[in-house]
Structure 1
Amino acid sequence: MRKLSLLFMLLTGLTGFGQTSNRTISGTVYDATDKQPITGVTVKVEGTNVGTVTNQSGQYQLTIPEGKTALVFSFIGYIPKKIAIGKSDKIDVKLDRDNKALNEVVVTGYATQQKRSVTGSVTRVGDANAEIRIDEPVGKSDVKVTRTYTPGSAAKVTVRGTTSQNAIYGYMAPPAPVNDESYKGITENGFQNPLDNPLSTFSVDVDAASYTNVRRFINNGQLPPKDAVRVEEMINYFNYNLSGPTDNSPVAIHTELSSAPWNPLHRLLRIGLKARTVTTDKLPASNLVFLIDVSGSMMQPNKLPLVQSSLKLLVDQLRDKDKVAIVVYAGAAGMVLPPTPGDQKTAIKEAIDNLTAGGSTAGGAGIKLAYNVAKTNYIKGGNNRVILATDGDFNVGASSDEDMQQLIENERKSGVFLSVLGFGMGNYKDSKMETLADKGNGNYAYIDNITEARKTLVSEFGGTLFTVAKDVKLQLEFNPGKVEAYRLIGYENRMLNKEDFNNDLKDAGDMGAGHTVTALYEIIPAGVHDSFSSSVDPLKYQKVQKPAGSYLSNDLVTIKFRYKEPESDKSKLSQAVVMDQPTALAATSTDFRFAAAVAEFGMLLRESDYKQKATFDQAIEMARAAKGTDHDGYRAEFVKLAESAKLMAASGLAAKE
C-alpha cells in the first residue's frame, strides 16, 4: 500500500510538472498617433535573449519562459515600452513616437558603421560574452552607447547620456562580420531634349530586390547607400490594380498623365504593364534546379537557415507533374538530390534540411552544374529554371561581375531561365546578383525574412517562376511641340540604344504570370523653362531642324511595346498614343499617387539632383492617402519606413559608402 501511495504521488508530481509549460503570447503593436500597425518592432522577454519582431501586419507571437513577467517593445523612432504579462495570452501595445531619439543617439544595426559627423572609435571584442562599447560625441551631446551581446542572440543596447538617465533604447541582432557589401554605381537619367533625342528606349524590370534591401537598412537603424536605391525596383515591389490583356497578347498596357508632385509645373506620365494571369493548375510542368550556396559565409541565421525555410515554402506549392533537383556549392559543386517529383515533398524537404554551411565559394562551378542538370531534364514547353539562393560572395573560379555575366549569357541560350534569391548582409553582393538575373532571363528578389519569402514564393508564385513574355522592351517617341524635355525615373541599368528596340538578338527583361510593371517619366511641357531645360547654339554644318512649334499634333508621346512569346525568337509589336490631356493630381488613381510617392521617397534616399521640391512629409502623406485596400499591409509598411527614414535623414544616420 505504501508503494502504491508513493507511485501515486510521483505521477501527481509529473502531471503538475507538465502543466507548468511555457505560455505563448501574441498580439499587435500599433502607432499610438495614427493607430496603424508597426512592422519590425522588436519584442523581448525581459531578462532573457528570447525575442521576435512584428510582421507586416504588426503582429507577433512569442513563447514565454516560465517565471518571466514582462515584455519589452522597442523600435527606432518610438519610446520603448515595458508591459507586464498578466493572465491574458493576447497583449496589444501602442507605442508613442520619440522624435528626439534619433537626434540624440546613434545606434547602427548590423555593422560598425558610423554617422558621418561622428568622431571616435569603435572597439570590437570577440569572446563569447563580449561587451561592445562605443563612446562617441554626437553633435554637441555626450552619449555613450554600450552593446552587450552573445553571438547568435539579440543584443541589448543601453544608451547613457549626461542629461538623461540610463535607458534601454532597443535590441538588435549581433553585428555581422566586416561590412563588404557591393552595389553597382548608378548615374541618374537626366532630362533629354526631344529635338536632339526624340526616342527613349529601355528594358522592363520586374525585380524588387532593391526595396527589400532598403527596408533592411532602415529597419536596422540606418539609411541605405545611395547606389542600393534603384527607384524602379522600389516602385515595382508593389502590386497595382491593372486589368490584364483582353485578347491573346500576354501583356496589356495602361497610361495615366498628371502633374509631378515635386514640381507642379512638370508632368508625370505613368506607364503600367499587366501580364496575363494564369491559374496554377494551368501552368506548365516545372523542371526546377535549386542551386544553393552552402559556403562558410552562409552560416549566419539570416542566410542558410532562412534559405531552407524559404525553399520549403516553395516545395509546398509544387504539383505532381513538377520535379526538383538540388545542387549545392562551396569549395566545389555537387548534386545532393536528383530530379524528384513534386509530390515527394518529404524527400525534398529532408534534403534541404540536411544542408550545412562551410568552405569557400565556387559559384561559377555551381552555376554550370545546375544548368547542366536543368538541360538534361529539359521539358519542352515547360518551365525550365534554375533558382539560385546565395549572398553572392563568390570567391573561387569565375567570380567577377564580368565573369558571371559571360557565363550566364552563354547558359541562357539553352532556354533555361534563372531566378536569383539574395540573402544576408555584411558581405552581400547586390551588384553580382543583379547581373546574374538581368543576363539570365530571370528575376531577382532579396529575402530578408520569412514573410518576404512567402510573398515571393507563395503569393507571387506564378509571377516569380512562370514567364509569359520575354525580352520586353519599350520605346517612347516624344512630340517636341508638346515636350520641352523628359526624364525616365530609374531604369538606369536597363537603358537600351534606340536600334536595340528592333533587334531581336538584343536581350531584355521578362514578365511572369500576373506581373505588373510601372515606369514613370517626368515631362517638362513645351514653353516651361527652368534649370533642367537645356539648349545649344545652332549647328553650322548640319541641316537646321524644324522649330518645336511646327509640330502641331496633340499627341504627347507614342509608346511602342515589343515582346516575345516564351518559346519564340521573333518579337511582336504593339503601341499606344498618349494625348496631352493631363488629369488633376487629386483625381488620379490611388495607384498613380502611391507610385509617385515611392518615386519621391526613392529620389530623397538617393539625394537625387532631380528631387526639386520633394520632401519626406509630402511623400508620406501622399502614400498614406493612397494606400487603397492594401490587404497585405505592404503600403502601410512603406509609410512606416518613410517615417523612420525621415527621422534618420534629420539625424544624419547614413550608411557608410
Structure 2
Amino acid sequence: MKTITKVLAVCMIFFLSCTKVDDDSPSYSYENGFGEIAYNEKYKEYEENPFLKVKDYPLSTFSIDADGASYANMRRYVNLGQKPPKESVRTEEYVNYFTYNYPEPEAGENISLSSELVTCPWNEEHHIMRLGIKGKTIPEEELPNSNYVFLIDVSGSMTPPEKLGVLKTGFKQLVDELEPEDRVAIVVYAGEVGVLLPSTPASEADHIKAAIDRLGAGGSTAGAAGITTAYEIARENFIDGGNNRIILGSDGDFNVGISSTDALVELIEEKRKGGIYLTVLGVGTGNLNDYMMEQIANKGNGNYEYIDNADQIQKVFVHEKSKFHTVAKDAKIQITFNPDRVESYRLIGYENRKMKDEDFEDDEKDAGEIGSSQTITALYEVILKKNDASAEYAKFDFRYKLPDSDSSRPLSLSIRQTPLSINAASEDTRFAVSVAGFGLLMRESEYKGTLDQKMVKNLAGSSFSFDPNGYRKQFIELIGKLP
C-alpha cells in the first residue's frame, strides 16, 4: 500500500513539474529531486542573447539591472544540494549581487563609468568587454530622511518561519538602522488589507518593532489591494527630496483580486509616477512567484532581492542599506561597436532588459535605478578583428536622470585600451567574469565553451583582496558545494 501511495505521489509531482502554472505569465513549475518535495515556483525563461554581427547591428541598448535576487535564490538551491532551475538564472543578477571597486563619479555627476577589455577564459579566440558603473557615495550623515511603508504579506502561505519569520527579523534590523526623523508605516494584507501601524517616527523604534512582532499569518492573498493602500500612505507622508519607498515582503502568491502579472505590472506603472520607489523582497520555498516579483520591482522603479538566510538579511538591511537612496533613475546603456575593430558581440545576461535603440534618448521610457555607492556591471563577449590600442573598439554611452529631474544626462566613454590577458586583468574584472561564468554553468549555456567549476573557482580565488563583508569569499565556498 505504501508503495502504491508513493507511486501516485511521484506521478502527481511529475504532472505538476511538466505543467505551466495557472497564470497569464509564461512561467514554469519545478520538481525537486526524486519527488519527496514538489516545487510549484514560477519563473520566466528567456532565450539567451546570441552573437550579433556588428555590420548588421552596430548598436546594443539596454536598461541597467540592480537586482540580486537570482543569485540568492540560486544559493538556496545549492545549499540544499541541488542546481537551480535554468529558468531562474539571470546572469546579470549573479554579477551585480557583488560590489566592485569602481571609481567615484567626478564632481557634478552622480555616476562614474569605467571599462576593461580582456581575453575570454572559456574561448581564447574571444574577448570580454567589462563595463563598470558606480553611483555616487553619499556619506551616511548626509543621507536624506526616509519615508518607508513596510508592505507585508501575512497570508496563509507565509506561515513557515523562513517566510514571515525572516521578514520580521529583517524589518526590525532596518528599524535599528534608521535616523530618528525617518518614518515607518506598516500595511499588512491577506484576505483583506489592514494598516497595522500608521506612519510613525523612527524615534519610536520600540513601538515599531513591537508592531512587527505582532505579525501573524493566515488567509488568502489580496496583494494588489495592499499595494494600493501602501502607495496611498507613502503619498500622504511624502518627504520632498527624501527616500520615499515601499518595501514589499512576500512569496508572491497573490490569489485575491488582481493577481495576474500583467495586471499587477499595469497597476505598478501607474503608481510609480509619484516619485515613490518599490523594493521587493522574495522569501520562501515551494510557491515562490519569482517572475511576478521581478517584474513589479522592475516597473516600480525599484529592486528585487531574495532573502534566503540571516546573512542576506544583514546584506540588504544593514551592509547595503544606502542602496535604498536612489542617486540615478532611468539609467540606460548604449554601446556603439566599431565595425573596423569588432566582428561580433554577445551581451551576457540582461535578456529581459533589452531596449529599442531609439529608446535610449527617449526620456519617457522607463529604465533602471542606481542607489548610493551601488555598482553595476555588464559584460560582452566579443570577437575582435584587430587588436589596436590606437583605435576605438566601442563607444560606451550612458544616460540617467537625477532623482528630482525628468530630463536625462548623457555620459560617454571611449573603449580603446589595449586588450589584456585574463590573468593580467584587474581583480574586479576577473571576479565579474568568474561569476558570469558560474551563471553560464547554472544555465547550461550553449556559449559556455570550456567553462567548468575549476576555472570559475581559480578566477574568483585570485580576486578577493577587495571584499566588503566577505561576500566574494562566500562565493568561492559556494562553488565547492555544487552537486
Amino acid at match of 2:6: T
Which of 183, 195, 202 is the aligned partner of 1:342? 202
Residue 515 of structure 1: aligned partner: 374
SS in 1 for 2:240: coil
Amino acid at match of 1:406: E
Residue 162 of structure 2: aligned partner: 302
Residue 625 of structure 1: aligned partner: 462
Which of 164, 178, 181 is the aligned partner of 1:321? 181
Residue 367 of structure 1: aligned partner: 227
Give the structure with higher Rg (CA). 1
Residue 31 of structure 2: aligned partner: none
Residue 403 of structure 2: aligned partner: 566
Which of 236, 256, 260 is the aligned partner of 2:116? 256
SS in 2 for 1:375: helix
CA distance in 2, matches of 1:354, 1:552: 63
Deviation readout 1:602-621 (Å, 9 max, x if unpaired): 10110101111111111111
Query: Are 1:607 and 2:467 counterparts?
Result: no
Residue 95 of structure 1: aligned partner: none
Query: Are 1:506 and 2:343 counterparts?
Result: no
Say whether the 8 Å CA contact 1:484–1:527 is kept in structure 2.
no
TM-score by length of 2: 0.92
Say whether the 8 Å CA contact 1:200–1:498 is kept in structure 2.
yes
CA distance in 2, matches of 1:176, 1:632: 36
SS in 2 for 1:337: strand
Deviation readout 1:427-486 (Å, 9 max, x if unpaired): 0010010001100000111111121111111010111x1100000000000001111100
Say whether the 8 Å CA contact 1:176–1:426 is kept in structure 2.
no
Residue 143 of structure 1: aligned partner: none
Unaligned runs of 5+ in 2: 11-34
Which of 407, 413, 433 is the aligned partner of 2:273? 413
Residue 393 of structure 2: aligned partner: 556
CA distance in 1, matches of 2:317, 2:415: 36
1:569-584 aligned within 5 A: 569-579=406-416, 581-584=418-421
How many residues are matched?
457
Residue 345 of structure 2: aligned partner: 486
Say whether the 8 Å CA contact 2:150–2:247 is kept in structure 1.
yes
Residue 404 of structure 1: aligned partner: 264
Identity %: 48
Deviation readout 1:356-408 (Å, 9 max, x if unpaired): 00000000000000001101111111111111000111001111110111010
C-alpha deviation, 1:185, in angstroms = 1.1
Amino acid at match of 2:288: Y
TM-score by length of 1: 0.68
C-alpha deviation, 1:527, in angstroms = 7.1
SS in 2 for 1:264: coil
Q: Report the CA distance shift for 1:178/1:333 in structure 2 as closer, same or farther (over 3 A).
A: farther
Amino acid at match of 2:432: A
C-alpha deviation, 1:593, in angstroms = 0.7
SS in 2 for 1:514: coil
CA distance in 1, matches of 2:186, 2:350: 33
CA distance in 2, matches of 1:504, 1:266: 35
C-alpha deviation, 1:552, in angstroms = 12
C-alpha deviation, 1:632, in angstroms = 2.5
Query: Are 1:223 and 2:83 counterparts?
Result: yes
C-alpha deviation, 1:275, in angstroms = 0.6
SS in 2 for 1:213: helix
- Structure 1 segments of 4+ aligned residues over 6 angstroms from their partners: none
Which of 214, 219, 238 is the aligned partner of 1:354? 214
CA distance in 1, matches of 2:6, 2:314: 38
C-alpha deviation, 1:246, in angstroms = 2.3
Q: What's the C-alpha RMSD, in Å, of the aligned pairs? A: 2.0
Deviation readout 1:401-425 (Å, 9 max, x if unpaired): 1011101000001111101111111
CA distance in 1, matches of 2:292, 2:476: 30
CA distance in 2, matches of 1:580, 1:285: 42
SS in 2 for 1:344: helix
C-alpha deviation, 1:285, in angstroms = 1.2
C-alpha deviation, 1:563, in angstroms = 0.2
Say whether the 8 Å CA contact 2:116–2:417 is kept in structure 1.
no
Unaligned runs of 5+ in 1: 1-119, 127-131, 133-174, 529-550, 649-657
Residue 271 of structure 1: aligned partner: 131
Query: Are 1:435 and 2:295 counterparts?
Result: yes
CA distance in 1, matches of 2:386, 2:394: 17
Residue 320 of structure 2: aligned partner: 460
SS in 2 for 1:389: strand
CA distance in 1, matches of 2:213, 2:480: 39
CA distance in 1, matches of 2:422, 2:40: 43
C-alpha deviation, 1:553, in angstroms = 7.6
Query: Are 1:291 and 2:166 counterparts?
Result: no
Asked which structure has the greater RCO (Cα within 8 Å, sep 6+), the reply is: 2
Residue 471 of structure 1: aligned partner: 330
